[in-house]
Structure 1
Amino acid sequence: MKRIGWIVAIGLLLVISGIYYLRFSNIDSSNERIEDSLSIMDSKEISGSPSDGKLLKDSSIGVETDSSPNKNSEIEKSAITIADNKSSKLNSDTLNLRDFGVVGNGNNETIGFQKALNASVGKVLFIPKQQGKYYLTRQLRIPSNTKLVFDSNVIVQATDDLKQDHANFEVLFRIENANNINIQANNALFRMNKSAYSGEHNHIFMINGSSKVLINKARANNSGGDGFYIGAYKSNKKLCEDITITNSVADNNRRQGVSVISAKNLLIDHCVFKNTSGTSPQSGLDIEPNKYSDILENIVIKNCKSQENAGRGFMFAISSFDSRSKAVSINVENCQAYDNYVGFASVYFLDGSRGTISFDNCKAYRSKYSGFLEASCSSDGIKKIYRNCEAINSNQSRDKSQKGSYASSFYIFESDRQPRRSIGNSVFENCKSTVQDKNSNILRGISVLEKGNAIAKGITINNFQSKGHKELPVKLDVKSSITAKNIQVR
């Protein structure tokens, strides 16, 4: 009997040991899988390149989403599922915001959120869905070498008392003098109470004097300033470098959807900027350096939409660059502007400024005034090239006067605000103006007006087409036949 007792005891011990082994080996393998997943995410997403899959419009957020099979999306779902388990500390490289007592119940949780960000250096911080309506926080600083992965249902809202004065203004997320930051927002919503702010500097994301920053699938809405700011305000570096913003939305911001002040190697791809209003310039995207020493080099804006902004859809206000500045290189590709004040506007380029801005396959629909406009851009300044661009149903204001670009889909003129000696240095290749509205007051496709002291020169118009206009496709209001020779129409 004793021998049988010993045999039973040994058998039970073996069974218990087997169960223990299987349970903890599974936990270990789960941790290994999430570590592998996050490593794959780092290697695949840091480039910021959007998927090559078919794109479908998501009307709920106004941005295009990828409908193709996406391994990274599945990996992120796995990360979210595992990270939201009772044991939120997956391993030494993955943290959960819950571990810092931040639950998102609508109370101010700035201190805990900032502690989590500081602890995530060199690691991954996962932000699960809030338990209440939103996470509430004051300004948060994102340190270098950080990766943030948000649940798709996350809402982060700023308190209503951020500092607004120009010297000490606060934003929601401040990325300053930092590098190697990867934000996978998964369509999370980042917002402010816009009505609480009367200034123009309280941005959602401020990328300032930083490098190697990727923001993917973020909604930056209702700010007291810009949805996204990219520059070098009081920073150690005089520019931002290697910045990528993809598949994101900036909606109902007070000053700008996106402001670009000083940047090199900037890509903005498959983004939407809309409903900007509150304080000038009120544009969807505005590239506007503050001083001659700022940098605008290798900037690519592609596959973006700018719609229903109180100001311009896409604005290039480079009025501070002169002969001391470095050459500009900006490419705007396959972008569309809908129902803006002006679709695409280049304004106030100075003599001596250098470089090129190219517009390829861009379209402006239903602009209040012109679809494409140049105001006081010196012919001895930055060159503008338009290839296969089209303005459709411009002059929704129904204004009949020439002043203010009301009568032309493409318009080059000298502004009273910024007198010039010359205007021009512009090339139009295979561009088109289309009028489908019987009651339109658009008279012509493209016009050049010499109304002040400036002489128009360095302008080439090749194969310009127009449909539905009351006058000739091209109208030159120049001072004499001598100045007309400065404009080549073929």
Structure 2
Amino acid sequence: MRYILILFFTVWSFILKSQIRLDDFEIIKKNEFGQAIDLSSYLPKGYSISGDKDYTKYLQKGLDENLIVCMPNFPILVNSNGLKLRSNQKVLFQPNSKLVLIGNNLERYSILEILNVSNVKVYFPKIQGDKHYHLSSSGQWGMGISIIKSSNIYIQEPYIESCWGDGIYLGNKDGKNVENVTILGGVISDSRRNGISITSANNVLIKNVYIKNTGGHSPEAGLDIEPNSSNYLLKNINLVNINTENNKGYGVVISTGLYSGSRNRFSINIDGLKDIRSDIGLAFILTKGNFSRYRENISGTITINNFYSANNRKAKFRNFSGQSHSVDLRGDFYKTLQSVDFPKEMLMNNIKINKSFIVK
């Protein structure tokens, strides 16, 4: 009972901290957006503030013509083209700003696209996807925010809900990785595939993010670290004070099978992960099964400190068996597995530390 109360107050304080604080908003607006263009000035005369009109082309024109902008202070419908940001752009979502996606039948889309650009800052983005009114059943790539082959990207306190694919996606294109990405605070809820996916990145910090209620298409994780190719890069990936709750698959899953044969060592650091009521709080799927395509070595380091998980439907932690690889598991995680928080029967039934790991 004591652990449940601690977790309740931790999550509740997390939610409270994740709300837009008007004083923080006013400071950022004053310091960084004093000369900003309010994109409502690009809307047609007599525009609606009820979130019932598609103003995608007007917002995009404003973004194309201005580097420092404020979103209109009311909800706006956007179509499947989404909005595309430029290098050196700063975008401020005001307290009542919100992008609401019109339902579509596409397998992939990005509501806010950050593609092949650098030096972008987005503050308080509020985004709603079409998970509950998507017009087909195919695909899994409808993203709230996609960050692809871009560098020096800063996202503060995103509020993203009900995306057909992921709330936020970090990935590679044309052989170019994501570099230097920071995501601070915010809530990502009700994503169909993952709250956040990291497939290829170098130097990432994700801190104080709360991810909940993911479900609808595998892997259904709060946060999924999963390269799509051995040519991708997972270096210096840092998760700090992450809360996950009620995700149908996992709170956090590290799935590195397609990294097989890579010359790059991956490095993933987790400090402070708290999960409640996800199927599995934390999972390692290095090479699930003994598939021949995973024969080539996978090497890397996973450092985990301060992990806590409770009321999971299947397991607090699970390491799926598979091929043996050169992966070091470090930090206080192994001690945590043997503590009173993991009763012996839970340890024996749900955990198999196999040759995939060198426990240090």
CA gap of 1:314–1:99, structure 2 versus 1, over 3 A, is same
1:135 matched to 2:80: no
1:100 matched to 2:42: yes
CA gap of 1:278–1:352, structure 2 versus 1, over 3 A, is same
Residue number among 1, 17, 30 corresponding to 1:64 in the alignment: 17
Q: Distance in 2 between matches of 1:148 and 1:208?
A: 18
CA gap of 1:368–1:258, structure 2 versus 1, over 3 A, is same
Q: CA deviation at 1:384?
A: 2.2
Residue number among 295, 310, 332 corresponding to 2:270 in the alignment: 332
Sequence identity (%): 24
Query: Secondary structure, in 3 states, of the residue corresponding to 1:278?
Result: coil
Query: Secondary structure, in 3 states, of the residue corresponding to 1:128?
Result: coil
Q: Which residue of 1 aligns with 2:131?
A: 194
Q: Distance in 1 between matches of 2:133 and 2:20?
A: 38
Q: Distance in 2 between matches of 1:112 and 1:96?
A: 12
1:319 matched to 2:257: yes
TM-score normalised to structure 2 length: 0.84
Q: CA deviation at 1:304?
A: 0.6
Q: 1:172-197 deviations in whole A, cap 9, x for unaligned? A: 11111111110011xx5210231223
Off by >6 Å, runs of 4+ in structure 1: 66-70, 447-450
Q: Distance in 2 between matches of 1:67 and 1:152?
A: 7
CA RMSD, Structure 1 to Structure 2 (Å): 3.1
CA gap of 1:171–1:458, structure 2 versus 1, over 3 A, is closer
Most deviating of 301-310 and 378-387:
378-387
Following superposition of structure 1 onto structure 2, how do residues 155-174 of structure 1 map, counting pairs within 5 Å? 155-161=98-104, 163-164=106-107, 169-174=108-113
Considering only CA atoms, is the larger Rg found in Structure 1 or Structure 2? 1
Query: Secondary structure, in 3 states, of the residue corresponding to 2:113?
Result: strand
1:306 matched to 2:244: yes
Q: Which amino acid aligns with 1:443?
A: E
Q: 1:64-100 deviations in whole A, cap 9, x for unaligned? A: 3499997x544235479xx8xxxxxx7xx42111221
Following superposition of structure 1 onto structure 2, how do residues 397-412 of structure 1 map, counting pairs within 5 Å? none
CA gap of 1:141–1:162, structure 2 versus 1, over 3 A, is farther
Q: Which amino acid aligns with 1:107?
A: K
1:63–1:247: 8 Å Cα contact kept in structure 2? Answer: no
Q: Distance in 2 between matches of 1:278 and 1:252?
A: 9
Q: CA deviation at 1:242?
A: 0.4
Residue number among 114, 117, 133 corresponding to 1:178 in the alignment: 117
Q: CA deviation at 1:153?
A: 1.8
Q: 1:220-262 deviations in whole A, cap 9, x for unaligned? A: 1101110000002xx3452100011111211001111000000
Q: 1:331-357 deviations in whole A, cap 9, x for unaligned? A: 011111111111110003355111101
Q: Which residue of 2 aligns with 1:291?
A: 229
Following superposition of structure 1 onto structure 2, how do residues 316-465 of structure 1 map, counting pairs within 5 Å? 316-349=254-287, 350=294, 351-387=296-332, 389=333, 428-429=334-335, 431-434=337-340, 443-446=345-348, 456=355, 460=359
Q: Distance in 2 between matches of 1:261 and 1:145?
A: 24
> Using CA pairs below 8 Å that are at least 6 residues apart, which structure has the higher relative contact order?
2
Q: CA deviation at 1:142?
A: 1.0
Q: Distance in 1 between matches of 2:89 and 2:330?
A: 39
Aligned residues: 336
Give unpaired runs (5+ residues) of structure 1.
1-55, 84-89, 390-427, 462-490
TM-score normalised to structure 1 length: 0.63
